Homo-oligomer: A and B are copies of this chain.
């Protein structure tokens, strides 16, 4: 009965927990990125390109929810440094398909290892039951706009399988 009506204090605690947890969440990647002269924006690009290799610039724009000028600055650096490869589309030659080079994959692995370790530790400490709850709450809290674009991308990617 007291469960279905969270108090203001409960909500405050949740809000502060999100703040402190997000700090912890980004801490380790931030350190690694700084060593390479990159920031979080580069991490996000690298992450989603790794996750959906061959995806286009406009897909990335929709997922990340930033302007093309902002993304382009980041992408240009990654391409110049040889971490990301940009190839013209075959079906539609206006599109650029993005993928990680060998070097890019190495950095991605390093970042992913650090961040996953933190998440894995938290999962282990809280237990599998808690993890399901964690994911359920995050799911309900997500930005609907970005999520919509992301699920669309996932579906498109599924359809594309075998033709690339």
Query: Quick one: which of B13, B65, B131, B139 contacts A133, CB cutoff 8 A?
Result: B131
Main SS at interface, chain A:
helix
**From residue A74, how far is it (CB to closest CB) to chain B in Å?**
15
CB distance from A126 to the nearest CB of B (A): 4
Contact with B along A53-89 (1 / 0, CB 8 A): 0000000000001000000000000000000000000
Evaluate contact between B130 and A136: CB separation under 8 angstroms: yes
Chain B CB within 8 A of A118 CB: yes
Residues of chain B lying within 8 A (CB to CB) of residue A27: 143
CB of B138 within 8 A of CB of A21, answer yes
Asked if B51 contacts A119 (CB within 8 A), the reply is: no
Q: Chain A residues in contact with chain B, CB under 8 A? A: 3-4, 6, 8, 11-25, 27, 44, 47, 51, 65, 112, 115-116, 118-144, 146-147, 150
Provide a sorted-by-A list of 17 A–B residue pairs whose CB atoms are within 8 angstroms: A4-B128, A12-B116, A13-B135, A14-B119, A14-B123, A16-B47, A17-B138, A18-B21, A21-B141, A21-B143, A22-B22, A23-B65, A24-B142, A129-B133, A130-B133, A130-B136, A133-B134
